[in-house]
Amino acid sequence: MKPKTTADVKIEQVIQLLFPPLELHVDKDGNKFHIDRSIDTNLEAALTDLEMGHNDAASQKTIRSTVDQIIKVRKILEAYQEIDAEVKYFIAEDPEGSINVEEIQAAERYN
């Protein structure tokens, strides 16, 4: 078996963060069920809640935890953007450039 490279280790860390194994549990009636902590499943669940008008603490916590996961992945991959020293703020925009724009303070984003 060949030794793992740094890239292999990083990929494993990213997979673990974004797509951890399903957790098996048993409810009070003896029924088995899984808990899926994958980032896509959690974002989909939070989006569904928001679309149904449920902007509750649970939805907000789910979104916050997925953002935290993505930030951890960014750090693992060292995928930092080059920041111009004169920039006062960021504008976060989806890849298609739609009108959903949010200003984010630079210090908050990269700390």
Is residue 97 assigned to a domain?
Answer: no
With respect to residue 87, please indicate whether it lies within any of the assigned structural domains: no
Residue 103 lies in a domain: no
Residue 66 DSSP label: H
> Is there a domain that residue 91 lies in?
no
Say what the pLDDT of residue 97 is.
61
Classify residue 110: in a domain, yes or no: no
Neighbouring C-alpha atoms within 13 Å toward the C-beta of 19: 5
Output the CA–CA distances (angstroms, integers) from residue 26 to 22, 23, 35, in the order listed. 13, 10, 11
Give the torsion sign (CA, 95, 111, 73, 45). negative
Whether 26 is covered by a domain: the verdict is yes
Residue 57 covered by a domain = yes
In a domain, 47, yes or no: yes
How many structural domains compose the chain? 1
What predicted TM-score, i.e. pTM, was given to this entire model?
0.70
Q: What are the pLDDT digits (tens) for 4-29?
A: 889 999 999 999 999 999 999 999 99
- pLDDT tens for residues 66-111? 999 999 999 999 888 788 888 887 777 666 666 444 544 444 555 4
| Residue 56 structural domain | 6-80
Please say whether the beta carbons of 69 and 17 come within 8 A: yes
Looking at per-residue pLDDT, the higher value among 33 and 97 belongs to 33
